[in-house]
């Protein structure tokens, strides 16, 4: 879902308001609440507008409000960059690096298929790969494409949340061998990531971290849900496998304890879900004090506008770690979003155009009316709703 903020001086800015399956709730927040409150304000006052929308509310936070604030904030940075004639990373403080390192996804219905794909990604120049495989004995595994060609085919046509079965035991039967094989086949130069999508309890995550220590992961992504941030002490006490958390966090408060107690190594929030570039900048600076690096979320249900915003943050942030990357969209989205991001040798370059450096063809977008589509819901084999 793309938001456009228009000024009366001919400039406009773009922001991403995607919130898997709940986009129309964000649209209502923007149209019914934000637009009437913002008309007549100076779009240059990004900081004041952010605080007005966040702190000016008696009820703060929440994913719908934060996605809406995120979209407006990105659009305002886009406008400021266009007004200044500078790319957004320059406004943030300038370059900390020449290019942005990416991690790509390899997933398959078994280890062999996953590792073939990983090999192709290494051939294509990627130096960091997320390794996922289907769990044998279960009908579907979250994040694995199965017989689908791409994520858009997998994720784009689920008008109601599909239900999937999860078994921790079946997962443990598969995972160590997968990562062990990946390390042996891909060699010691490639950085490996594995994503658990919050399926484990803290003590199970601790066990997994220990099991995988010898394969030297760049990080273990979302082993457990961090709603109770303190529970990460259990994981941390047991393993030196680096931990990356944050794609479901909406504000700095959702990760404050994780960061200040050094319970994680990478913070993975997105500009879309965390309240925009203003919020991400603040979180990055806070994280730097505690040796936590940034690794922004880069899922297929975030729009290319979000990726553009992330590349500016990644180019600037002194404590940037790595950017998740699932490609530059399918053919349909490339007709709608015009951008000049360069991807080569497993790295990306932020646009040098003023603002975010991405444009949106509204006429082309009209050919694809909004279709609600959901991520799956997970149950145990006895029907218990999962995700602690
Ligand atoms: O869970 O696309 O890191 N990426 C992921 C993805 C996300 C979904 C929701 O954004 O974990 O699979
Ligand atoms: Co993830």
Candidate from 299, 322, 323 with most ligand 1 atoms within 8 A of CB, to mutate: 299
Ligand 1 lined by 247 (C-beta under 6 Å)? yes
Ligand 1 lined by 310 (C-beta under 6 Å)? no
Residue nearest to atom 1 of ligand 1 (CA): 197
**Cα 299 to ligand 1 centre (Å):** 5
The pLDDT assigned to 144 comes to: 86
Residue nearest to atom 6 of ligand 1 (CA): 299
Total-model pTM:
0.97
Ligand 1 lined by 130 (C-beta under 6 Å)? no
Closest-lying ligand to the alpha carbon of 299?
Answer: 1
The pLDDT assigned to 155 comes to: 79
Closest ligand 1 atom to 195 CA: 11
Closest ligand 1 atom to 297 CA: 3
The pLDDT assigned to 388 comes to: 65
**Cα 221 to ligand 2 centre (Å):** 6
The pLDDT assigned to 146 comes to: 78
Ligand 1 lined by 158 (C-beta under 6 Å)? no
**Cα 56 to ligand 1 centre (Å):** 31
Residue nearest to atom 4 of ligand 1 (CA): 299
Ligand 1 lined by 273 (C-beta under 6 Å)? no
Cβ 276 vs Cβ 252: under 8 Å = no
Ligand 1 lined by 73 (C-beta under 6 Å)? no
Closest to 43 in 3D by CA, of 91, 75, 20: 75
Ligand 1 lined by 143 (C-beta under 6 Å)? yes
Ligand 1 lined by 375 (C-beta under 6 Å)? yes
Closest ligand 1 atom to 142 CA: 12
The pLDDT assigned to 82 comes to: 98
**Cα 195 to ligand 2 centre (Å):** 6
Residue positions annotated with a catalytic role: 142, 197
**SS3 letters across the chain:** CEEEEECCCCCEEEEECCCCCCHHHHHHHHHHHHHHHHCCCCCCCHHHHHHHHHCCCCCCCCHHHHHHHHHHHHHHHHHHHHHHCCEHHHHHCCCCCCCEEEEEEEEECCHHHHHHHHHHHHHCCCCEEEEEECCCCCCCCCCCCCCCCCHHHHHCCCCCCCEEEECHHHHHHHHHHHHHHHHHHHCCCCEEEEECCCCCCHHHHHHHHHHHHHHCCCEEECCCCCCCHHHHHHHHHHCCCCEEECCCCCCHHHCHHHHHCCCCCEECCCCCCCCHHHHHHHHHHHHHHCCCEECCCCCCCCCHHHHHHHHHHHHHCCCECCEECCCCCCHHHHHHEEECCEEECCEEECCCCCECCEEECHHHHHCCCCCCCCCCEEEECCCCECCC
Local confidence pLDDT in tens for the 388 residues of the chain:
999 999 999 999 999 999 999 999 999 999 999 999 999 999 999 999 999 999 999 999 999 999 999 999 999 999 999 999 999 999 999 999 999 999 999 999 999 999 999 999 999 999 999 999 999 999 888 888 877 888 888 878 899 999 999 999 999 999 999 999 999 999 999 999 999 999 999 999 999 999 999 999 999 999 999 999 999 999 999 999 999 999 999 999 999 999 999 999 999 999 999 999 999 999 999 999 999 999 999 999 999 999 999 999 999 999 999 999 999 988 999 999 999 999 999 999 999 999 999 999 999 999 999 999 999 999 999 999 997 6
**Count of alpha carbons within 13 angstroms of residue 173, beta-carbon side:** 11
Residues constituting the chain: 388
């Amino acid at each position: 879902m793309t938001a456009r903020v228009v000024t009366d001086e001919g400039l406009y800015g773009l922001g991403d308001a995607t919130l898997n399956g709940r986009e129309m709730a964000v649209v209502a927040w923007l149209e019914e609440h934000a637009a009437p409150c913002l008309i007549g304000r100076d779009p240059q006052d990004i900081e004041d507008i952010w605080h007005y929308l966040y702190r000016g509310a008696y009820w703060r936070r929440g994913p719908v409000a934060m996605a809406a604030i995120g979209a407006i904030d990105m659009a305002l940075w886009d406008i400021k960059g266009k007004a200044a004639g500078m790319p957004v990373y320059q406004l943030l403080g300038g370059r900390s690096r020449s290019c942005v390192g990416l991690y790509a996804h390899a997933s398959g219905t078994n280890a062999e298929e996953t590792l073939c794909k990983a090999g192709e990604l290494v051939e294509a120049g990627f130096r960091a790969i997320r390794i996922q495989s289907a769990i044998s004995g279960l009908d579907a595994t979250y994040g694995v494409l199965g017989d689908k060609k791409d994520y858009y085919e997998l994720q784009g046509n689920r008008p109601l949340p599909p239900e999937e079965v999860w078994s921790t035991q079946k997962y443990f039967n598969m995972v160590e061998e997968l990562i062990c094989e990946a390390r042996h086949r891909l060699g010691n130069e490639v950085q490996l990531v594995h994503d658990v999508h919050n399926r484990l309890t803290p003590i199970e995550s601790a066990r997994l971290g220990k099991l995988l220590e010898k394969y030297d992961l760049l990080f273990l992504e979302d082993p457990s849900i961090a709603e109770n941030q303190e529970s990460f002490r259990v994981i941390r006490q047991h393993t030196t496998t680096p931990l990356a958390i944050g794609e479901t966090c909406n504000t700095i408060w959702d990760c404050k304890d994780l960061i200040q107690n050094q319970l994680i190594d990478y913070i993975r929030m997105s500009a879309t879900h965390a309240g925009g570039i203003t919020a991400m900048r603040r979180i990055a600076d806070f994280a730097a004090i505690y040796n936590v690096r940034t690794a922004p979320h880069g899922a297929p249900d975030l729009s290319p506008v979000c990726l553009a915003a992330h590349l500016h943050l990644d180019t600037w942030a002194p404590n940037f770690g790595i950017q998740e990357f699932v490609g530059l969209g399918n053919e349909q989205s490339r007709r709608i979003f015009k951008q000049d991001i360069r991807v080569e040798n497993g790295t990306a370059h932020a646009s040098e155009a003023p603002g975010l450096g991405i444009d949106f063809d509204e006429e082309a977008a009209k050919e694809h009316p909004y279709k609600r589509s959901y991520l799956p819901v997970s149950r145990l084999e006895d029907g218990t709703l999962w995700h602690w």
